[in-house]
Amino acid sequence: MTITHNLGFPRIGVQRELKRALEAYWSGAQSAQDLEDTGRELRARHWKLQAAAGLDFVPVGDFAWYDHVLEWTTLLGAVPARFAQSDREPVALDTLFRMGRGRAPTGTPAAACEMTKWFDTNYHYLVPELVPNQSYRIARRYLFDQIEEAQALGHRVKPVIPGPLTWLWLGKGDAFSQGATDPAKLDLLDNLLPVYQQVLQQIKELGVEWVQIDEPILGLDLPPAWQSAFKVVYKQLAQAGIPILLATYFEHLHENVEVLNGLPVQGVHIDLVRAPDQLDDVLAVVSDEQVLSLGLIDGRNVWRTDLDKARALVETLAVRRGDRLWLAPSCSLLHVPVDLDAEHELDAELRGWLSFATQKLDELAWLADSLSTIPSSTSQTALQRQRLALQGRKDSGRIHNKVTQKDLVASADLDRNRAPFAQRILRQQEKLGLPAYPTTTIGSFPQTPEIRVSRRDWKSGALSDSAYQAAMRKEIEHVIRFQERIGLDVLVHGEAERNDMVEYFGELLGGFAFTQNGWVQSYGSRCVKPPIIFGDVARPAPMTVAWSAYAQSLTEKPVKGMLTGPVTILQWSFVRDDQPRETTCRQLALALRQEVVDLENAGIAVIQIDEPAFREGLPLRRADWSRYLEWAVDCFRLSTVGVKDETQIHTHMCYSEFNDIIQAIAAMDADVITIETSRSNMELLAAFEDFQYPNDIGPGVYDIHSPNVPDTEWMVALMQKAAQRLHPQRLWVNPDCGLKTRGWAETEAALVRMVGAAQALRYT
Ligand code: GLN
Ligand code: ZN
């Protein structure tokens, strides 16, 4: 009999119960006991759901108050010194929260740990801080407590923990200047492995049969020192005497498959959704005695699985391996919404194509059952229903848009080139007449409660179209007058009409669907609700032109049109799985190109296409980078080059490093790029300097994530640093990012000083 298991279930709860409980606890409205109760309820509910679906093992250790990496870091007692943790006491929950967010109901506030993206997902983990000779100990008991909690509820459990090599790889420390790959980190294993062994022994003493150890770094380019460390590490962990399932996901193992050869673990999990063609390579190194766990249900996307295809892939293996074949989702279900049944507004046809975490458990159970000698009628009926739904999806008129497909074919011949920058910029300067060090902002102005209320009431129907129009126009007029008064050079309309930079466009484009409760954890208590791109993208009507044109009608100064770029829309949505990402991105680019041309025709002389997610779209493996960059750059150019030379194209990126992608950034050929740099003290500009980046740049002069108002002198000094690296004629002055999360008081104060800084620079 094939065994089924899960690598992790979303922890937030279908109604975001965990978010609410956390925020209530942080604000003092609820006690620690209330929070603990919510956590216990959620765990019990999720285990029950998984067991009821028929899974043989439920995961334990996937629950986290803030982040599962942070849970593990605190269990190991790896608490940075600034949090004043005694090395004898257990780590308190509030210490974990202080590490995650800088403060908690008790304890002294301290700088939070750094947060960064978890592999190529939109989930963020807290970066472990590594110190040479660090000592570790079991400093929290949550894992053991939760194992007992699940066992008491009658579940057969499989604890899930981050692997020592992945944990070290993700960690950072001043002493490890080579970054992720720094081989000096491996010296920490001497102290780390004994604690891992203790953990494994204690798990074993609880009567647990299997432990899953996650080593997703096996999907990355690993230096030889890291590859060979696996043998040493797992040999030592094997001594604890509990069977280990080594889990990999998110990528093809490629050459790292050799690491598995002879590795003393009892089982291996691989992701066959992302990399179906790695099965043969893995079969060649996994022995018949070892368990092979295959991830066949997509843990990263929301589509129903083609179960016939999955079944065909594993049928013979199931016979040959029996209970040494395990089936699972490709990775933890953390990355998909909890339950499709919480959606009441999706139409039946579309629902039939979708599967959220809860539905994926059923898919898994049906798949396993269909492999048994006498499949149950339930699974056979379910399979048949799913077959019909998927056939319906293939044939649906809602997916296929003839015009989009024709445009896509024709786009191969569309021009991707504008006149050289040196020529364009002269025409633009003639038209715009901007001073040296021109000032601008990134697009959004504070989203006040009144703005949010207007948008909400309009959506619910409580506010009429005309009343809503009037309210938004009032906001636009307000920000235009404000920007004129303080003397900014290139103005924006303020984005009051946008709830979110992707959702706003998705709602106006064809081929998108939205959920009511499709929340996915982004970090801590923060969740996002990504749109679902299900069909060919179309732009039935202009999306931003009326707002931008109205803003422009109020002033003599140029107002920037403001769009979200194709790559960012793609990255922050659930994307269709029936065509390459690249194709969907091109469709988005074509829709945006129409918008860009319409903006130009409406008299907008400066158009910004935001691409904050450009870098995060990079594949996990270097070998795949150039292909991605090629189409990503092409999509950006496709969306921008429809305009005249004198129309100025801006782009904006934040949270990016540019060193290794500077060539692609230059190939995008935006006239102006504004980037987040203030926190790096202009260090990020080194890449532009070394490359001799030719076009205009606006390095952000202040961090919009902080309410602090920056000093004029400080901004001047930053710009002077920038001017040492780049030609002053090419420089713009602007904040790091949009201002939507700020209040008006600090926004006004900061921008007045920023304009002052630009003026000071012009006269020196
Ligand atoms: N134009 C957007 C804004 O100003 C850009 C947001 C972003 O870069 N994430 O809000
Ligand atoms: Zn930004």
Q: Which residues in 551-647 belong to E strands, given as ranges?
A: 560-564, 606-610
Model confidence at 707, pLDDT cuts 50, 70, 90, reads: confident
Instruction: Return residues with CB closer than 5 A to ligand 2 (ion).
Output: 612, 654, 737
Are 281 and 358 within one domain?
A: yes
Torsion angle of alpha carbons 57, 63, 68, 72, nearest 10°? -80
Residue nearest to atom 9 of ligand 1 (CA): 612
- 616 marked as part of a ligand binding site: yes
Residue pLDDT, tens place only, 521-541:
999 999 999 999 999 999 999
Residue 596 domain flag? yes
Question: Alpha-carbon distance 125 to 121, whole Å?
Answer: 10
- The backbone torsions φ and ψ at residue 244, rounded to the nearest 5 degrees and listed phi first, read -110, 130
Residues of 388-424 as b/e, b for ≥16 C-beta within 10 angstroms?
ebbeebeeeebbebeebeebbeebeeeeeebeebeeb
Q: Is the CB of 652 under 6 A from ligand 1?
A: yes
What three-state secondary structure class fits 472?
A: helix
Residue 407 domain flag? no
Residue pLDDT, tens place only, 365-417:
999 999 999 999 999 999 999 999 999 999 999 999 999 999 999 999 988 89
Tell me the average pLDDT of the chain: 97
User: Minimal CA–CA distance to 291: which of 312, 317, 252?
Assistant: 317
- Determine the pLDDT at residue 508: 98
- Ligand 1 atom with the shortest distance to the CA of 564: 1
Can 124 be counted among the known catalytic residues? no
Q: Is the CB of 653 under 6 A from ligand 1?
A: no
- Determine the pLDDT at residue 135: 96
Residue 579 domain flag? yes
- Ligand 1 atom with the shortest distance to the CA of 443: 4
Question: Alpha-carbon distance 716 to 712, whole Å?
Answer: 6
Q: Which residues have a Cβ under 8 Å from the Cβ of 21 and sit 6 or more positions away?
A: 30, 34, 35, 38, 39
Q: Kindly tell me if the per-residue pLDDT of 679 is higher than 90.
A: no
Question: Alpha-carbon distance 18 to 43, whole Å?
Answer: 11
DSSP string, 504-545: HHHHHSEEEE--SS--EEEETTEEE---EEEEEEE--S-SSH
Q: Residue 492 C-alpha to ligand 1 middle, in angstroms?
A: 12
Q: Which residues have a Cβ under 8 Å from the Cβ of 80 and sit 6 or more positions away?
A: 99, 113, 129
Q: Is the CB of 613 under 6 A from ligand 1?
A: no
Q: Is the CB of 611 under 6 A from ligand 1?
A: no
From 254, 650, 705, 727, active-site residue: 705
Q: Is the CB of 535 under 6 A from ligand 1?
A: no
Residue 413 domain flag? no
Cβ atoms within 10 A of the Cβ of 207, count?
A: 10
Q: Is the CB of 493 under 6 A from ligand 1?
A: no
Are 321 and 456 within one domain?
A: no
Are 378 and 308 within one domain?
A: yes
Are 366 and 491 within one domain?
A: no
Question: Alpha-carbon distance 149 to 711, whole Å?
Answer: 53
Are 268 and 322 within one domain?
A: yes
- Ligand 1 atom with the shortest distance to the CA of 498: 10
Q: Kindly tell me if the per-residue pLDDT of 764 is higher than 80.
A: no
Residue 354 domain flag? yes
Question: What CATH number corresponds to the domain at position 553?
Answer: 3.20.20.210
Report, as an integer, the average pLDDT of 679-685: 87
Question: Alpha-carbon distance 158 to 458, whole Å?
Answer: 48
Structure tokens, 406: 């024709």
Q: For residue 388, how far is the Cα from the chain centroid?
A: 32
Are 440 and 384 within one domain?
A: no
Report the domain count for the chain.
2
Q: Residue 97 C-alpha to ligand 2 middle, in angstroms?
A: 26
Are 506 and 374 within one domain?
A: no
- The backbone torsions φ and ψ at residue 564, rounded to the nearest 5 degrees and listed phi first, read -95, 135
Residue pLDDT, tens place only, 123-132:
999 999 999 9
Question: Alpha-carbon distance 59 to 147, whole Å?
Answer: 9
Question: Alpha-carbon distance 755 to 488, whole Å?
Answer: 7
Q: Is the CB of 442 under 6 A from ligand 1?
A: yes
Q: Residue 704 C-alpha to ligand 2 middle, in angstroms?
A: 9
User: Minimal CA–CA distance to 254: which of 225, 212, 282?
Assistant: 282
Domain interval for residue 495:
423-762
Burial tier of 764 (Cβ tally within 10 Å: 0-12, 13-18, 19+): exposed
Question: Alpha-carbon distance 136 to 128, whole Å?
Answer: 13
- Determine the pLDDT at residue 657: 86
Report, as an integer, the average pLDDT of 632-660: 94
Structure tokens, 525: 């208590």
Report, as an integer, the average pLDDT of 436-453: 98
Residue 301 domain flag? yes
Are 429 and 484 within one domain?
A: yes
Q: Which ligand is nearest to the CA of 544?
A: 1
DSSP string, 534-546: EEEEE--S-SSHH
Are 390 and 430 within one domain?
A: no
Q: Which residues have a Cβ under 8 Å from the Cβ of 449 and sit 6 or more positions away?
A: none
Q: For residues 209 and 243, is the Cβ–Cβ distance under 8 A?
A: yes
Q: Is the CB of 675 under 6 A from ligand 1?
A: no
Q: Residue 521 C-alpha to ligand 2 middle, in angstroms?
A: 20
Strand partners, 115: 126
For tokens 């980190």, name the residue: 185
Residue nearest to atom 10 of ligand 1 (CA): 738
DSSP string, 393-434: HHH-TTT--HHHHHHHHHHTTS----S-HHHHHHHHHHHH--
- Determine the pLDDT at residue 1: 85
Are 467 and 376 within one domain?
A: no
Question: Alpha-carbon distance 169 to 180, whole Å?
Answer: 5
* Domain end among 395, 411, 431: 395
Residue 409 domain flag? no
The single-letter DSSP state of residue 304 is P
- Determine the pLDDT at residue 736: 95
Residue from 495, 560, 572, 656 to probe ligand 1 pocket by mutation (most atoms less than 8 Å from CB): 495
Are 476 and 534 within one domain?
A: yes
Q: Residue 485 C-alpha to ligand 1 middle, in angstroms?
A: 23
- 17 marked as part of a ligand binding site: yes
Strand partners, 159: 60
Q: Complex ipTM above 0.95?
A: yes
Residue 145 domain flag? yes
- Determine the pLDDT at residue 143: 98
Model confidence at 37, pLDDT cuts 50, 70, 90, reads: very high
Quote the pTM value: 0.96
Are 262 and 137 within one domain?
A: yes
- Determine the pLDDT at residue 77: 98
**CB-facing half-sphere around the CA of 206: CA atoms within 13 A:** 25
